[in-house]
Amino acid sequence: MNKTEKSRWFGHPWLSIILAVSWLLLQHTLAPFHLISAVLIGLAVPRLLHGFLPISEPMRLLPAVRLLGVVLWDIVVSNITVARLVLGPISRLQPAWITVPLALSHPTAISLLASIITTTPGTVSCTIDEKSCSILVHALNCTDPAQMVADIQTRYERPLLAIFECPPQNTGKTYNTKQTAKKGEGP
């Protein structure tokens, strides 16, 4: 089997694995018939959808696993922090709009970064500005905008650069922040 045939059948290996495992979970059994049907579904569905799926891009697995650990940890810690903030006096909150400059150029990596920011409690990515290569983020409580930008860049963006092997695009950019005066005000 040459590389073209292999990529046609195994162009989306993660999708094949997810489909096969999902099928087995739905069947609640590891009977030979279900194992064979899981493999067939895992091979056939991506092949049938080949024209509709984007080309699978190479990813580095170890940095992806590390990033997953960091994100899961940050979600747990942020949940506790946000719970304390929400249950405490509202006057303690310091909401802010923060513009995070991006070194990422890969569209999937940028989407993942925006999703990670939104998934972490207390922050929401609101806009991805393609012209200035930045993401506008709303933070529930931000006492130091520069530190928040640095945290997002080091904890999430750098690992995404390593995962997708993107060369940094805008490393010389500075950040721009806007503090909101009242709760609920927009940028």
Give the chain's count of helices (H) and strands (E).
7, 4
Residue 85 lies in a domain: yes
Which residue type is seen at 73?
W
Asked if residue 95 and residue 168 are part of one domain, the reply reads yes
The pTM for the full model equals 0.65
Residue 94 lies in a domain: yes
* Domain that includes residue 9, residue range: 3-48
Nearest-angstrom CA–CA distance, 158 and 101:
12
Asked if residue 92 and residue 154 are part of one domain, the reply reads yes
Question: What count of Cα atoms within 13 Å lies in the side-chain half-sphere of residue 37?
Answer: 12
Given pLDDT bands bounded at 50, 70 and 90, which one contains residue 50?
Answer: confident
What is the per-residue pLDDT for 67? Answer: 93
Q: Residue 128 pLDDT more than 50? A: yes
Q: For the CA atoms of 83, 147, 95, 107, what is the dihedral angle to 10 degrees?
A: -90
Given pLDDT bands bounded at 50, 70 and 90, which one contains residue 34?
Answer: very high
Residue 7 lies in a domain: yes
Residue-wise pLDDT for 18-30, tens only, equals 889 999 999 998 8
